Amino acid sequence: MLDLDALESFVASCECGSVSRAASGLFRSQPAVTRQIAALEEALGETLLERTSRGVKPTPAGSRVLPLARGLLRDARSLRDAARTGEGPSGTLRIAASDTVAQYWLAPKLGEFCREHPRVRLQLDLASSPEIAHRVAQGLSDVGFVLLPLKHPSLVGRTVLAYRHVAAFPAASSPSSASDVTQEELSAFPLVLLGRHTHSRQLIEEGFRSRGLWPDRIVEVGNVSVQKELVRSGLGVGVLPDYAERNDDGLVYRPIHGASRREIALVTHKTDFAEGPADLFVRRLLESESGKP
């Protein structure tokens, strides 16, 4: 019989990279956590953690066990939740998304879902698409939203949001024409863009390079909210996804001529998760989006 506390100690140690930090987070003593992991290794007949000068990391066997251990712990929590009194689904819904998707597209959907299911706890982790895919593949998140293409053999993705990039101008100095803005016209302005590490920025730069354009006046920011604020302040023109447009944010938006269609996919692990808040949320979201163009 596997000890759930031992599984929890093993998972926490892998995620923290340290047995002592895992013990602190679990409110257990370090010797107790060490004994639990040793007992788990003995029960499985494999060494699960490799001790290094910097802490611990899973061995090859530990890496195979880790996602399964997370799944067992998740199912155990669902079992406890199901036994509790009260009506409606309960448990934790763990979602990973970029801050832009979370703020401008996902937030109202989560709000509606949680109002309908008040016993569900929400855990929202903000990350880039590669990290989101990793989190879902490793069982750290139940559901993720990533920019396609998706290249991960353990995941399945379903498109839920399509968009194009648009140009955002300060209202006081927006173009008089409502026609599309060309890449050549955009490259003549100072630009306010997300950082180079983001997939969105890479796509924007590919669009410029494909036309032999190299804008050299660029202000880099960490998120779209700051990007909008700097555009309003007159520091340049922003390039951002059309789903982040708001009529009351003091900006004027123009389509970008030839802007490519991009897609955000809802991703889950190919292995079906147990019925619970994640399954309920996925079904609800796919149903609500299926009738949209």
The predicted pLDDT at position 203 comes to 85
DSSP type of residue 245: -
The predicted pLDDT at position 166 comes to 95
Q: Based on the domain organization, do 235 and 276 belong to the same domain?
A: no
Q: Based on the domain organization, do 243 and 279 belong to the same domain?
A: no
Q: Based on the domain organization, do 99 and 148 belong to the same domain?
A: yes
d(CA 148, CA 158): 10
Compute mean pLDDT per 10 residues along the chain, 293 residues long, and list them.
Answer: 84 88 84 89 91 88 90 76 62 91 95 89 90 86 91 88 94 80 91 88 87 90 94 94 92 92 91 72 84 57
Judged by DSSP in three states, 58 sits in strand
Residues 6+ apart with CB under 8 A from 205: none
d(CA 35, CA 6): 9
Angstrom CA distances, 70 to 139, 208, 235, 279, stand at 6, 43, 46, 17
The predicted pLDDT at position 28 comes to 84
Q: Based on the domain organization, do 24 and 78 belong to the same domain?
A: yes
**pTM score, whole prediction:** 0.71
Strand stretches in 77-236, DSSP E: 91-97, 120-126, 143-147, 155-163, 165-170, 191-194, 218-221
Q: What is the span of the domain harbouring residue 243?
A: 165-260
